[in-house]
Structure 1
């Protein structure tokens, strides 16, 4: 066939690529509805004012006491940690690429550097408390506390641990593409070692080091998990935003203002990253050259990396230690009771299944989205403007704070059918984590032969067949990396989903935030271990699949069979997603059969009493109980109003009155429950007098003092049976004195009686 006859046919084929156009518009629609629209809603909320100028809320926020202090604290903590992280990540990557240390040790460095990625950030804070706190592991080993863990020191350490894996991967990957032969050339030209180091290593890494700093800065600047655990009185913007949106007296307009303030550095970073692209260095060829022998360099780098890894392992050691002791730090006997409690808890088991489901579906949907977008930009002849739109989306999602996305979703989708659903959480994860998977897929697809699709079309194959039979099998290793990236991040994320998860859709990280309210650190660490081992297992499975694929390529396995396998796998995944969101909805329980959702600010003992009363009166397995801190629940009542997920709320009357006054959200009670004082028609008191005393059990036994059974017992003097004076002080006084004498072995006692309305 003549060339002149082929060209018109080829042009018609390119113009008829309706599949690529559909993919482009599908991806564009996704980000318009679930990124642009929520951010626009947030912007409108910040300017919304019932009276006065539209900038009123900005003035109120900017002039309020403590705001600029929080801004400064955020920049100091995030900037300081980003600088430290970038230096540490560079030294780790340099050790791997430019030293002659044993390969086994270098592999340990690579593994240890990325290990924190497998745990949620909120766990870092608790691990720091149990390591450096007054009763922490390291404090007990050394005999004194090294430094106060709450505030800036704790934030810096937590942020560094959190951002180190990302910074390390960026620098490590780029350093692998530096041509080492220029070091030889520099030495031959008589340059000093410092000049050689700067010219051949630092100069090519300028853009990557800057990108590492920016990425680390934003991860720290927008993180909520670490400030929630070790922030203390050191206020940062992330905690300020959370307090404004879900605090005791929520103000969504001011919260939106703070969210928009957090977006300002994002815009600046986009411009900076564009500018830094000119410093990227590309080599035509990467030469394999052995590193220069330098014993001093190797010893220094080896000692540095060893110390860094030991410190990191020491911090995370408490996660493995604390759940297996009776009561840290007082009763250090070995036990598996805490682990058994978690695995026997039906609610926690359900939460773990929710996390697996959300992570898996996020990985499926995210991988398809990133792959489709990369096909448009790297393997198509679509107009450059369309490609630039997707490139801009990737850049924006990389810098928009997770908390801002979560807040935007909360404001946009409250009261809609998407509120408190798995679908909304999955879409949130897909949108937020889009940038890195997209860039990974794009880089992989650009390295493939650009003529595959053209050749296939000329041979009569359609575009879809070419993608399944040729492109996808070659992109499979990167697809697995993308799937792994989405899965792991969906398992550990907390900053965004904490605003949009409901009682029925709670995942492990949001459950950890709830357990913090009860100081249930044993359960927190057990759940963290579940996340860690799940992510390790996932990475192991993905690695095995990659190895299988490589072995298949070496054996020249028929690519057609591989394409068939991939096509069937894709269809199976799509069928699973359809079944979950479609068939499950059709065959689900009716609204009347759904369990009653109860929101409560009660503490652990009160919750136990309430559940006991419900279970004993025939309501077992007919309700879901969700606990919050008082301010958090107050914020949800004000934020969600009649759209709140709960059917029943137990809460302080002040917040109930405020929520009813603002939202008119509570129905009148349809049962009689007489009270001593007049009460509104929509609530009644739930528990009677509550109180707590601390009892030193050893001293109580030694003095022969009986344990009080009610608060009334505290008013009766109790005489000692043995060597106590003839007239002993009351139990309450004894308890106070004994508490002052010996604080190490005590237990909390609380008397709670459920009122009749729970019958």
Structure 2
């Protein structure tokens, strides 16, 4: 009997190894396919753009002539200086504002924190052009504030909106929620023992902030600075709407490629636009690697003490910022439902009739919905599968490392650069994938690559938290990796998967930079139509289209929150059984 049992055990072991070997070959093939896909979607288009910068308008080799021409052009150099000035100023304003609100919501016990956080997130659901449009209705020549509520108030407040001031304010609105989320995460984790020690030494509140709080969140602060600077540096929507004659690199690319059809110079400006973003990205990654665990197993959670004066100041600050966000959003909503701003403020739905505007009807909105839906579905599936292969496959480590690097690279690539590189790569007649140019496929692909890194890191973080014993037990029971993936990995990761899908959908609806070069005339998008309508003077229609985009994104987010809440309740009930 013992011999027979040993024989059966040995047979099971050989079968397990055989099955594992077969699965290993499949994993190897999938990893190679993954790397090839990333190279084709990221590296080859970038190389095409890089190559274009070294040829003349006829396609002949030009060496560094295009770069020499760029640095000899005073107007183009001025655009670079303007871009740095705008990005630095916007970052210097947005990060402190975001830190203040994050501190208020994490280190005080005021009521209504969820509401204040939700209002702070509203700009994320709007196209960046909408921020410029809102400023136009507030501070333009016939704005609410610049005219003192059309003469009802005894004072007026006018600012030089069209130029650097308008761009900076728009970028602050655009980057504020991003910095706020990062700083909230940093301030939410703390060791209260350090504060107790500071109090025992007689440290004042300001001294504790300077010596304990700020050092504990220095990496979050650095990440917020890098994100704000990069987003401001590469944004196209706000400068297009309120930039006026104040040129920045993003609008220069558009003028060179679309206005002058100067593709080589457009590639040069694209490379110049990418370099600071990549440097900021590399610095952020290097500093983050040095980060040590600030909270240990012995740490004590932060304890908020009652303080009426502090809470009163916290309420005032949170209400002030929330009122500013509501004022901006409210101005656009109001402009979308009045007949003729500011001469006829009676209610109307006519602005939502886009057939008479530059949008040409509702088709751009539905095209965007379709594109965002495909981006969310395909992007989430691909991203999670790629993250699983890179994280869980135990073969071809160099390929997995290279795939990981390429997966986080899009985080440093401006949307305009992705769109421009896709023109050079997919529009080339010799490319076998040329047929996707001008179709919904290339729009979805550009969106997936543009927003790929954040969902990828979300999926990777989720997979890292899973117990590796699941795979070991599955292998010992001769359960295939596919079955383990579908029955265990995916269900446990479902909240993160839904978060990834919502991220893809919302960003695909609001983005314009990656798509401004790629859409076809019969496949216009809502975000592009907002730019076109604003250029044509149909500002009310542009506001109406922006409102539709915001409302749809809010509905999607509410459905996600309701769905995940129900999912958590079901998982909690299942765990109690």
| Aligned positions, number | 555
Higher relative contact order (CA 8 A, sep 6+): 2
Structure-2 separation of matches of 1:256 and 1:216:
24
Instruction: Tell me by how many angstroms 1:95 deviates.
Output: 0.9
Instruction: Find the counterpart in structure 2 of residue 62 from structure 1.
Output: 71
Aligned CA distance change for structure 1 residues 197 and 23 (closer, same or farther; 3 Å):
farther
Instruction: Tell me by how many angstroms 1:495 deviates.
Output: 0.7
Correspondent of 2:326 among 313, 317, 322: 313
Q: Which moved more, 1:276-285 or 1:522-531?
A: 276-285
Quick check: 1:537 aligned with 2:555? yes
Instruction: Tell me by how many angstroms 1:516 deviates.
Output: 2.1
Structure-2 separation of matches of 1:392 and 1:281:
22
Instruction: Find the counterpart in structure 2 of residue 579 from structure 1.
Output: none
Instruction: Find the counterpart in structure 1 of residue 103 from structure 2.
Output: 94
Cα deviations by residue, 1:532-559 (Å, 9 ceiling, x for unpaired): 1111111122122212211211321899
Correspondent of 1:26 among 33, 51, 59: 33
Aligned CA distance change for structure 1 residues 343 and 200 (closer, same or farther; 3 Å):
farther
Instruction: Find the counterpart in structure 1 of residue 190 from structure 2.
Output: 178
Contact conserved, 1:73 with 1:236, CA < 8 A, in 2?
yes
Contact conserved, 2:32 with 2:399, CA < 8 A, in 1?
no
Instruction: Find the counterpart in structure 1 of residue 492 from structure 2.
Output: 474
Structure-1 separation of matches of 2:211 and 2:398:
37
Instruction: Find the counterpart in structure 2 of residue 364 from structure 1.
Output: 377
Instruction: Find the counterpart in structure 2 of residue 43 from structure 1.
Output: 50
Quick check: 1:391 aligned with 2:404? yes
Counterpart secondary structure, 2:230: helix
Aligned CA distance change for structure 1 residues 52 and 444 (closer, same or farther; 3 Å):
closer
Aligned CA distance change for structure 1 residues 500 and 8 (closer, same or farther; 3 Å):
same
Correspondent of 1:165 among 147, 158, 177: 177
Structure-2 separation of matches of 1:482 and 1:52:
43
Structure-1 separation of matches of 2:18 and 2:99:
50
Correspondent of 1:290 among 303, 306, 321: 303
Q: Which moved more, 1:339-348 or 1:371-380?
A: 339-348
Counterpart secondary structure, 1:326: strand
Alignment of 1:453-464 (within 5 A): 453-464=471-482
Aligned CA distance change for structure 1 residues 232 and 288 (closer, same or farther; 3 Å):
same
Contact conserved, 1:206 with 1:280, CA < 8 A, in 2?
no
Contact conserved, 2:336 with 2:540, CA < 8 A, in 1?
yes
Cα deviations by residue, 1:670-716 (Å, 9 ceiling, x for unpaired): xxxxxxxxxxxxxxxxxxxxxxxxxxxxxxxxxxxxxxxxxxxxxxx
Cα deviations by residue, 1:624-657 (Å, 9 ceiling, x for unpaired): xxxxxxxxxxxxxxxxxxxxxxxxxxxxxxxxxx
Counterpart secondary structure, 1:139: coil
Instruction: Find the counterpart in structure 1 of residue 116 from structure 2.
Output: 109
Q: What TM-score do the two structures reach when normalised by structure 2?
A: 0.90
Counterpart secondary structure, 1:387: helix
Alignment of 1:182-221 (within 5 A): 182-188=194-200, 191-221=203-233
Structure-1 separation of matches of 2:25 and 2:186:
36
Instruction: Tell me by how many angstroms 1:373 deviates.
Output: 2.3
Q: What TM-score do the two structures reach when normalised by structure 1?
A: 0.69
Structure 2 portions without partners, runs of 5+? none
Cα deviations by residue, 1:529-587 (Å, 9 ceiling, x for unpaired): 1111111111122122212211211321899xxxxxxxxxxxxxxxxxxxxxxxxxxxx
Structure-2 separation of matches of 1:471 and 1:134:
57
Correspondent of 1:323 among 336, 344, 365: 336
Cα deviations by residue, 1:576-631 (Å, 9 ceiling, x for unpaired): xxxxxxxxxxxxxxxxxxxxxxxxxxxxxxxxxxxxxxxxxxxxxxxxxxxxxxxx
Structure-2 separation of matches of 1:231 and 1:207:
32
Structure-1 separation of matches of 2:161 and 2:357:
34
Counterpart secondary structure, 2:436: coil
Aligned CA distance change for structure 1 residues 119 and 389 (closer, same or farther; 3 Å):
same
Quick check: 1:81 aligned with 2:81? no
Instruction: Find the counterpart in structure 2 of residue 485 from structure 1.
Output: 503
Instruction: Tell me by how many angstroms 1:158 deviates.
Output: 0.3
Contact conserved, 1:125 with 1:158, CA < 8 A, in 2?
yes
Aligned CA distance change for structure 1 residues 377 and 408 (closer, same or farther; 3 Å):
same
Aligned CA distance change for structure 1 residues 12 and 211 (closer, same or farther; 3 Å):
farther
Contact conserved, 2:164 with 2:246, CA < 8 A, in 1?
yes
Cα deviations by residue, 1:313-360 (Å, 9 ceiling, x for unpaired): 112212111122110011112222223556999953222221111001
Structure-1 separation of matches of 2:345 and 2:141:
16
Instruction: Tell me by how many angstroms 1:10 deviates.
Output: 6.9
Quick check: 1:423 aligned with 2:459? no
Instruction: Select the structure of larger CA radius of gyration.
Output: 1
Contact conserved, 1:154 with 1:230, CA < 8 A, in 2?
yes
Aligned CA distance change for structure 1 residues 53 and 344 (closer, same or farther; 3 Å):
closer
Structure-1 separation of matches of 2:125 and 2:544:
14
Quick check: 1:412 aligned with 2:425? yes
Instruction: Tell me by how many angstroms 1:136 deviates.
Output: 0.6
Cα deviations by residue, 1:481-533 (Å, 9 ceiling, x for unpaired): 00000000000010110100012221111111221232111211111111111
Structure-2 separation of matches of 1:229 and 1:346:
16
Contact conserved, 2:175 with 2:232, CA < 8 A, in 1?
yes
Instruction: Tell me by how many angstroms 1:365 deviates.
Output: 1.4
Instruction: Find the counterpart in structure 1 of residue 284 from structure 2.
Output: 273
Instruction: Find the counterpart in structure 2 of residue 634 from structure 1.
Output: none
Cα deviations by residue, 1:464-483 (Å, 9 ceiling, x for unpaired): 11111111111111111000
Structure 1 portions without partners, runs of 5+? 560-759
Q: Which moved more, 1:373-382 or 1:342-351?
A: 342-351
Instruction: Tell me by how many angstroms 1:366 deviates.
Output: 1.2
Aligned CA distance change for structure 1 residues 343 and 535 (closer, same or farther; 3 Å):
farther
Instruction: Find the counterpart in structure 2 of residue 657 from structure 1.
Output: none
Aligned CA distance change for structure 1 residues 13 and 86 (closer, same or farther; 3 Å):
farther
Instruction: Find the counterpart in structure 2 of residue 152 from structure 1.
Output: 164
Q: Which moved more, 1:412-421 or 1:222-231?
A: 412-421
Alignment of 1:630-641 (within 5 A): none
Correspondent of 2:140 among 125, 128, 133: 133
Instruction: Tell me by how many angstroms 1:254 deviates.
Output: 0.9
Counterpart secondary structure, 1:66: helix
Correspondent of 1:259 among 262, 267, 270: 270
Contact conserved, 1:23 with 1:372, CA < 8 A, in 2?
no
Contact conserved, 2:104 with 2:314, CA < 8 A, in 1?
yes
Contact conserved, 2:332 with 2:543, CA < 8 A, in 1?
yes
Aligned CA distance change for structure 1 residues 346 and 327 (closer, same or farther; 3 Å):
closer
Structure-2 separation of matches of 1:46 and 1:382:
38
Quick check: 1:350 aligned with 2:363? yes
Cα deviations by residue, 1:205-225 (Å, 9 ceiling, x for unpaired): 212211111111111111111
Structure-1 separation of matches of 2:454 and 2:218:
20
Aligned CA distance change for structure 1 residues 272 and 327 (closer, same or farther; 3 Å):
same
Cα deviations by residue, 1:251-308 (Å, 9 ceiling, x for unpaired): 1111111111111113312331232124424223464442133333322222122111
Cα deviations by residue, 1:96-148 (Å, 9 ceiling, x for unpaired): 1101111x2x1122101111111111121111111111211122325424311
Structure-2 separation of matches of 1:521 and 1:344:
10
Structure-1 separation of matches of 2:137 and 2:229:
26
